[in-house]
Structure 1
């Protein structure tokens, strides 16, 4: 096992307070319903099709809100808190000779923010954004294209993801996979990786 693929949201990064808390100051009542619909509207953009900001603007206008959609988007979707513990693990894995790659479902605006201002292009060996691959986790096509980009066979890679469906999809595609999120702590993740032969020393939780 020489390659580790890390999910973004829930594994590498989080939204402080959660999505609902981020949206409510802008939308008030009905925020939960709005979020559910926005995630459905986002799916084509996650595949690299269409424009999520256009869809978001339409959703805002349907509610009759006087809201600048770019300001709204930046305040919510880009309000990302990066986990220093996961970043530290990435560095230790790379120092130990493992290939460490980002494997995430994102539309192109958030992907650009993660690549640039958050510095993920420098952090990872390879970044596998769904909007670039034209497929989303947990689809088999996503994993096939990600592995092609990484240049590794499925049997030489492990995915760490907080979404069980993605974990099961990875395993069905021949990868090893760990179901983990930030709330479980770094010691638990290192232990799960060690069981798969990926061993790295470092601080705990």
Structure 2
């Protein structure tokens, strides 16, 4: 038993970039393609640069023929490359995952660019609604909503709109809206709109004057 455990640990482990684990769907990879690329990554770390479809399929639940089709598809989609190399004047082929890493890096930069653009638009929208430049404290609050509280800029815009409709355009009121939405698990604009609509409806009921259900007897009308 001990020898088996020692052999198990000697086999090592495969390091999977967390970014790849959380972004493969965004890149356009399905689970089969993702696992296939991970197995190739594992083979490369073991020093096996060009595993056969049979060797890869033996680790998966797909046939060798299906593995071949998926490999061809990954090459066509630009996630995998087959390169030639020379070792001691002997030409051989090997897999390269450089195209995958390049796609992942571009996706990260694109996501960062979109986030920066959304932040810039958010500041502009707030300044437009307030009719003035935001103070340093207000800018810090906006940044805190996004970075610390992890509110989506779209949700923050929705909270701003709700504050405008309520006639309470101030950061404390907007912060309260965001707090309530987060507490109620609201993460999409549709959920925010439904919650706001329900809140305004309840508020309207509370603001209506009291009307007794029992008719009041008017003594002045009696003869």
Which one has a larger percent strand, Structure 1 or Structure 2?
Answer: 1
Structure with the greater alpha carbon radius of gyration: 2
Q: TM-score range by the shorter chain?
A: under 0.3
Q: Please report the TM-score for the alignment, with normalisation by the length of structure 1.
A: 0.24
Question: Which structure would you say has the larger RCO, counting Cα contacts within 8 Å and 6 or more residues apart?
Answer: 1
Q: Please report the TM-score for the alignment, with normalisation by the length of structure 2.
A: 0.23
